[in-house]
Amino acid sequence: MARRYDPERRQRIIDAAIRVVGEKGLAGLTHRSVAAEADVPLGSTTYHFKTLDELMVAALRQANEGFAKVIAARGGLENADADLASELAGWMGEWLAGDRTGVELEYELYLAALRRPALRPVAAEWAEDLAERISRRTDPVTARALVALMDGICLQVLLTGGSYDEESSREVLARVIPG
């Protein structure tokens, strides 16, 4: 039997893994559940991702791209006259708006790094990249503090199921920013 050329299969597997985690949590993520969701043979998932950790790394990288797109689309870091606290609060507002499945997934994978060392470098890359972007407008120590504060705000919103208060977040962020 001829092998079917399927250049999008790897991406479909990653997308399926994200859907599985979104629906069932990390506990529901198996090669078998992802293969069923992606409608591919089980061997395809293990061919592209030898371990579940490899698949989680790919899923976390893709999830991280969602927040990076929000940042890039707003473009406020390039404008030195823009209020940094308002810009950061706006990022979180856009990210937390509407369906939170993607945000929840990203944090679930992010926090999975506590028990899965393979995920730690990807989680660290996200925080370092965000701090580097923010440090274009402030010093590196303040940038890291802002990233930690933003993480805390987002986690509180997700864990309480509450609504995001952009003005309150802006005020708290402004207190950390010098000047």
Greatest mean pLDDT among 56-65, 124-133, 140-149 lies in 140-149
> How far apart are the C-alpha atoms of 16 and 20, rounded to whole Å?
6
Structure tokens at 27: 């506990």
At the topology level, CATH places domain 7-50 in: Arc Repressor Mutant, subunit A (1.10.10)
How many Cα atoms are found within 13 Å in the side-chain-facing hemisphere of 38?
Answer: 27
Q: How far apart are the first and last CA of the chain?
A: 69
The pLDDT of residue 50 is 95
pLDDT at 66 over 80: no
Report the b/e string of 65-98 with b at 16+ CB within 10 A: eebeeebeebebbeeeeeebbbbbbbbbbbbbee
CATH architecture of 59-176: Orthogonal Bundle (1.10)
Site of tokens 């802002």: 146
Average pLDDT, the chain: 88
Q: Which residue has the tokens 């990390």?
A: 26
pLDDT bracket for residue 142 (50, 70, 90): very high
26-63, pLDDT tens digit by residue? 889 999 999 999 999 999 999 999 999 999 999 888 87
Distance CA 144, CA 176 (A): 11
- CB neighbour list of residue 51: distance below 8 Å, 6 or more residues apart: 118
pLDDT of residue 1: 45
pTM: 0.81
Collapsing DSSP states into helix, strand and coil, what is residue 52?
helix
Per-residue model confidence (pLDDT) at position 4? 66
- Listed range (14-28, 35-49, 147-161) with the worst mean pLDDT: 14-28
Q: Where in the chain is the domain with CATH 1.10.10.60?
A: 7-50
pLDDT tens sequence across 84-128: 999 999 989 988 887 777 788 888 888 888 888 988 998 888 889
